[in-house]
Amino acid sequence: MIHEQTATLRPRVVGSDETDRTKIARTRKGLLFALGAIIGFAVALLASSCAGTAAREDVLMPAVQQAWPGVRADAQRGIAAVYPAGAPDEVVLPLSRLDRAIFDGNRAKINLLDWEAIRFLALAGIDDRLAKAEIGPNGAKSFRDRVFYFDESIRSLKAR
């Protein structure tokens, strides 16, 4: 009976065929795990970049809507400074149209309007306030920065 038990047990020898198969199986499992991890990371990265774009789009229009009253006030001041006798309709109408488009959140209408002319008027309004000593250099810089960031936001909206 002892002889039968020892006959059924197979001795393991290092370097045997079974040990090599075990090493290969472990290596395959490790490589498949690494490949799965890389693919998972790539999918997560892609998903997060798409989510970031969507989040920026959801935040951009409300930011423009919040900054617009200050930029509009600067542009209206610029109209008064550039056109002391009264501005023609081709100057005033784009301002009121942009006002409506931003209030409605209508990106298509924003794309059609000439933001550059309004930007010029906003900067002229800031310069007029600075020249009349209503604001100092630091205040003027702050208002110019607001126009600059508003300009970047409008360009981003137009680009999408």
CA-CA distance, 143 to 72, in Å (whole number)?
12
| Residue 110 · residue 157 · CB < 8 Å | yes
Structure tokens, 92: 């005033």
CA-CA distance, 67 to 39, in Å (whole number)?
42
Q: Is 143's pLDDT higher than 90?
A: yes
Give pLDDT, residue 140: 95
- pLDDT grade, residue 40 (50/70/90)? low
Give pLDDT, residue 122: 95
Average pLDDT over residues 46-71: 75
- Domain map (residue ranges) of the chain: 57-159
| Sequence-separated (6 or more) residues with CB below 8 Å from residue 18 | 12
Q: Is 116's pLDDT higher than 80?
A: yes
CA-CA distance, 29 to 123, in Å (whole number)?
64
Q: Which of 89-93, 102-106, 125-129 has the highest mean pLDDT?
A: 125-129
Give pLDDT, residue 124: 95
Average pLDDT over residues 58-69: 88
Q: Is 135's pLDDT higher than 80?
A: yes
**3-state class of 149 per DSSP?**
helix
Average pLDDT over residues 124-151: 94
